[in-house]
Structure 1
Amino acid sequence: MTLHHFVLILHLLAATIWVGGHLLLAICYLPTALKKKDPQIILNFEKKYEKLGMSSLALLIITGIWMAYDFGVTAETWFHFSSGFEKVVSIKLILLFCTFFCAVCAQFFIIPNLKPNNINKMAVIILTVTSIGVTMLILGSTLRYGGI
């Protein structure tokens, strides 16, 4: 096994935890929370998942950048969109920034004021981050064929 292959396996395991956790939240916990108008259901899940989820996200960032460099997509070529690999890496970086923006909004504006009457705001964040995660997973799968 090459070092690149090992890094890819770590990346895939971290993606499984990150995307899988958000799919679990969006599909299993969020509908119940919305139906009952109970934000505590979401907060309890977040409390249990946060350490594992954030560790996975950090590992995704590290291994993603590592593999980008392995493919010759260095910081100097990010956002050039000139090759299939550069397009995928650049779009994934943009989506990472969007995820970060959602996290900041949730942590500083939505969660501190989360109540039954505004649970829909949190639902939008959850569905957005989940959709971004699935999109990043799909984009990553295109690298096997040279990107998009």
Structure 2
Amino acid sequence: MNHHLLLIIHLVAATIWVGGHLYVCLCVLPGVLKSKDAGPLLRFEKSFEPLGMPALVLLVGTGIWMALQFGVYPSQWFSFASPLERVVSVKLLLLLLTVVLALSAQLRVIPTLKQSAARLNEMAVHVVLVTLIALAMLVLGSFIRYGGI
């Protein structure tokens, strides 16, 4: 597939993923923490998931595809030998951290939030961390234009 088309798909998916997390972090979360009512957060999570998860899948797929086009193959991941390999490797590590946080939220925190707000602060930490990771990945991606880090 044409690199420019892959990049456009990647950027649209990143807009959805990062924008959704910025919205929940900056607009939904403050009110939830103030009211100690997890309802708005749970409703946002449920409404965002059908759009956010396909966006994440597209991000991963197009990101790996573009890495291959740049000559960064799986055997070079986590070698940190070249500037592009460093960008790809750090982004993959951040993706793994995002997956760990998502599993923690889905399996441990969210089921509890449906009964009580006892783990609301823990969920807030998850939301903020995933948002910061998304922003970090966005910034890292911009370094590809300059040859990596």
TM over 0.5: yes
Tell me, what secondary structure is at the counterpart of 1:147? coil
Tell me the residue number matched to 1:5. Answer: 4
| Whole-angstrom distance in 2 between the partners of 1:29 and 1:113 | 19
The equivalent residue for 1:78 is 77
CA distance in 1, matches of 2:50, 2:61: 17
Runs (5+) with no aligned partner, structure 1: none
> Where in structure 1 do 4 or more consecutive aligned residues deviate above 4 Å?
none
Q: C-alpha deviations, 1:39-84, integer Å up to 9, x for none?
A: 1110000111001000000000000000000000010100010111
Question: TM-score, normalising length from structure 1?
Answer: 0.98
Aligned to 2:126: 125
Q: 1 CA distance for matches of 2:77 and 2:118? A: 42
User: Which has the larger displacement, 61-70 or 117-126?
Assistant: 117-126
TM-score with structure 2 length normalisation? Answer: 0.97
1:61-116 CA deviation, whole Å, 9 max, x = no partner?
A: 00000000000001010001011100000000000000000000000000011122
In structure 2, C-alpha distance between the alignment counterparts of 1:82 and 1:108, rounded to whole Å: 36
Identity across aligned pairs (percent)?
Answer: 54
State the aligned residue count.
147
CA distance in structure 2 between the partners assigned to 1:79 and 1:48 by the alignment = 35
